Structure 1
Amino acid sequence: MAEVSYYTKEGLEKLKEELQYLKTTGRTNIANAIAEARDKGDLSENAEYDAAKEAQGLHETKIAKMEEVLANARILDESKMDTSKVLALSIVKIKNTKNGATMSYQLVSETEADLKAGKISVSSPIAKGLLGKSVGEKTEIMVPAGKMEFEILEISR
């Protein structure tokens, strides 16, 4: 059984739009490539046809995986979430206790993660170290660069 993933309403809509694109325009583009390659002659020695058929298989696999993700996707109701602890979809302001640098991240699903937008995956080392913590708590998190200590300054939605 697939793992349940939690999304914001916007993130789930984006996923649905991408799936719709793959099912319509994506399939049409691949069908056109196959037809074009077929028109070029002998299929037994046609590398372009083989490549187009392989691309079709990969495309259908991607669609199947996205449909599975959507089937197990859940929208989190942010209005019912506890803001005293760090949870999925929390916006957390943290301070690096070593150098005093502060940063703010929103903890989102893996597919919505975008570091430039300040969104990190709940399965990332930093997010895992923050989950369940409260304002004022300090936590040591093992990251690829070594151990870092963070203090939680603020939690919001």
Structure 2
Amino acid sequence: MLEELKNKLGEEIERLTHELQITLPKAIQKAVEHGDLRENSEYKSALERQQFVQARLNHLTKRYGELSKIDLSEIPSDRIGFGSRVTVVDMRTREEETYTLVFGDYIDIDSGQISVASPLGQTLIGKKKGDKVSLQLPRGERKLMIKEMTTLPQMVDDQGDAA
């Protein structure tokens, strides 16, 4: 999972770098050739896009650096943490839900990814299989039991054993 995130980030960084260094300078140059820059919407649009791309690139580069610093040996294998896949049972409805804890930028609700910084993520961090947790939501309290969990170190070990 960690390598998958790093690859995904790397690809977006590469794409944005190309846009910033190749595509946008050409668009700006083309817009400059049209004359009066004060009323040139193409020029303004290209500059705004350039600022956005630069900001996004800075953010992604920082995130990539943070991911590169993660030491799997420091992530507990017996408690929920970053990268853990967790199945919970709603104590009221008995419905099961499975989540993977990820950094805030990589949330994909449809595939069950939630941020470690979200209220649910914060509630699950440090817990173990069999623990019961309570989560206060705007619509009321939600009580969950942790049915299953696989930590990031366990996933890496399983992949290593399979090789």
Smaller-chain TM-score bracket: 0.7 to 0.9
Higher fraction of helix: 2
The answer to whether structure 1 residue 146 and structure 2 residue 146 are counterparts is no
2:48 to 32, 54, 57: 54
How many residue pairs were aligned?
A: 150
The answer to whether structure 1 residue 95 and structure 2 residue 86 are counterparts is no
Quote the RMSD (CA, aligned, Å): 2.0
The answer to whether structure 1 residue 134 and structure 2 residue 128 are counterparts is yes
The answer to whether structure 1 residue 10 and structure 2 residue 15 are counterparts is no
TM-score, normalization by structure 1:
0.84
**1:25–1:44 CA distance, 2 compared to 1 (3 A):** closer
Q: Which runs of 5+ in 2 are unaligned?
A: 152-163
Output one character per residue of 1:12-32: Cα deviation in whole Å (capped at 9) or x when no partner.
111111111100135422122
Residue type at the aligned position of 1:35: Q
1:141 shift after superposition? 0.6
**1:76–1:11 CA distance, 2 compared to 1 (3 A):** farther
1:76 shift after superposition? 4.7
Match of 2:155 in 1: none
How many Å separate the matches in 2 of 1:116 and 1:71?
27
Higher fraction of strand: 1
How many Å separate the matches in 2 of 1:128 and 1:17?
29
Match of 2:78 in 1: 84
Conserved in 1, the CA contact under 8 Å of 2:102 and 2:116?
A: yes
Q: Which runs of 5+ in 1 are unaligned?
A: 1-6
How many Å separate the matches in 1 of 2:40 and 2:81?
53
Identity of aligned residues (%): 28
Residue type at the aligned position of 1:109: F
Higher RCO (C-alpha under 8 Å, 6+ residues apart): 1
Conserved in 2, the CA contact under 8 Å of 1:83 and 1:155?
A: no
- Farther off after superposition, 64-73 or 114-123: 64-73
**1:67–1:97 CA distance, 2 compared to 1 (3 A):** same
DSSP 3-state at the match of 1:155: strand
DSSP 3-state at the match of 1:9: helix
How many Å separate the matches in 2 of 1:25 and 1:118?
31
Conserved in 2, the CA contact under 8 Å of 1:135 and 1:154?
A: yes
Residue type at the aligned position of 1:46: N
TM-score, normalization by structure 2:
0.81
Match of 2:39 in 1: 45
Residue type at the aligned position of 1:106: T
Conserved in 2, the CA contact under 8 Å of 1:12 and 1:75?
A: no
1:63 to 50, 57, 61: 57
